[in-house]
């Protein structure tokens, strides 16, 4: 398992632009490694837009089950966990609507 430390990008992960920057480093690991630990120790804030850009958009490339198999989340506080879950749910909803159309 490979560990990806989000705190290397700061304590507050708040913008879509930062999410894009982090995504460029994270996504190759997710696709290449068997499993990636998404470690949020030391991170206070994960905004909805950051979570969508960096994590939830993975659902455009893989299923939720594949994402669950490839990743594990550690060190999340309640606020950060909630925003990541919201971003994932919104992205899943969008993906399922696109499949219907």
User: Hey, CA dihedral for 95, 24, 45, 3, is it positive or negative?
Assistant: positive
The burial of 75, by beta-carbon neighbours within 10 Å (0-12 exposed, 13-18 middle, 19 or more buried), is given as middle
Mean pLDDT of 57-78: 96
Does 101 have pLDDT greater than 80? no
For the chain, percent of residues with pLDDT exceeding 70: 94
What does the pLDDT read at residue 96? Answer: 67
Q: Write out the H or E segment, with its range, that includes residue 37.
A: strand 36-39
pTM: 0.91
What does the pLDDT read at residue 49? Answer: 96
């Amino acid at each position: 398992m490979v560990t990806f430390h989000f705190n290397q990008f700061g304590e507050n992960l708040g913008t879509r632009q930062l999410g894009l920057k982090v995504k460029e480093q994270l996504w190759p690991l997710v696709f290449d490694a068997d499993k990636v630990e998404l470690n949020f120790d030391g991170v206070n804030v994960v905004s909805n837009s950051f979570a969508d850009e960096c994590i939830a958009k993975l659902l455009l490339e893989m299923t939720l089950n594949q994402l669950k198999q490839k990743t594990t989340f550690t060190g999340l506080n309640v606020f950060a966990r909630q925003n990541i879950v919201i971003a994932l749910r919104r992205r899943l909803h969008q993906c399922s609507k696109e499949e219907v159309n």
